[in-house]
Amino acid sequence: MMQQPADQIGELIAQLGYTEGAIVLLGMDWLGWGQTLIFNCDLRNEGETHAFTWRFVDCREMRWQHYAHSDAAEAFPATELVNLRIGQGQHRKPAQLLTAHFGLSVSYREIVVD
């Protein structure tokens, strides 16, 4: 049995139509000098994989923390989302993401999951 999602990860999983699973970030794209931040992701659940994109639109401020213990040779190694706080859109409260490789705080207008 999979571990129950921590924080607001469960809300993202539910938005994708599942009740449990792991969110794995596979890659990242920037548009407009970082105004739009796009994560290419997988939801992994009991041998099933559901690919999706997670977009933060109209980003105004970002704060990254890269963890020194990460020695991955890849530019963007696959990393599981371990903690999530969605914050509030319209730049009211930043979202906070935590993985084994980085932490991110981002102020955004809206989040789109495709």
- Which contacts (CB < 8 Å, 24+ apart) does range 108-112 have? 108/37, 108/56, 108/57, 108/58, 108/59, 108/60, 109/57, 109/58, 110/57, 110/58, 111/54, 111/55, 111/56, 111/57, 111/86, 112/53, 112/54, 112/55, 112/57
pLDDT (0 to 100) of residue 56? 98
> Residue 74 has what pLDDT?
72
| pLDDT per residue rounded down to tens, the chain (114 residues) | 344 444 799 999 999 999 999 999 999 999 998 899 999 999 999 989 999 999 999 999 999 998 766 566 777 789 999 999 999 999 999 999 999 899 999 999 999 999
The structure's pTM equals 0.86
